[in-house]
Amino acid sequence: DAGVIQSPRHEVTEMGQEVTLRCKPISGHDYLFWYRQTMMRGLELLIYFNNNVPIDDSGMPEDRFSAKMPNASFSTLKIQPSEPRDSAVYFCASGPPGLAGNEQFFGPGTRLTVL
């Protein structure tokens, strides 16, 4: 079982550029979550999907952020244009149907640096 896969693991870009982060959830999981981790705010939920449908995007900081889940095995988080304050580690997590025990399974994260 491969677990949640995220790519790239590291991304360095310049301010104003578009950034796309990718996630492959665990097969059979129908929940997918995008989180951002910063020193100041800890782990923040940005958006989550259930059965490929966005359920709650209230954590998305602003219109520069967008997320899609075109199918059960792939999701993207896009930042356009990127800004230095977007620098953080972005995690994707997936959860099984019914979210038994509320447990979520996290990927290794993408460390984003915006110069």
Partner 1 sequence: DQQVKQNSPSLSVQEGRISILNCDYTNSMFDYFLWYKKYPAEGPTFLISISSIKDKNEDGRFTVFLNKSAKHLSLHIVPSQPGDSAVYFCAAPGSSNTGKLIFGQGTTLQVKP
- Closest separation between CB of residue 93 and partner 1, Å? 7
- Closest separation between CB of residue 1 and partner 1, Å? 14
Binding site for partner 1 (CB under 8 A): 4, 31, 33, 35, 41-45, 48, 50, 55-56, 91, 93, 95, 99, 101-109
Q: Rounded to an integer, what distance in angstroms lies between the CA atom of residue 88 and that of residue 111?
A: 6
DSSP, collapsed to helix, strand or coil, labels residue 16 as coil
Q: Which is nearer to partner 1, 50 or 113 (CB)?
A: 50
Q: Which is nearer to partner 1, 12 or 99 (CB)?
A: 99
Instruction: Please list, in sequence order, all residues whose beta carbon lies within 8 angstroms of the beta carbon of residue 4, skipping any fewer than 6 positions away.
Output: 23, 24, 25, 26, 92, 93, 94, 105, 106, 107, 108
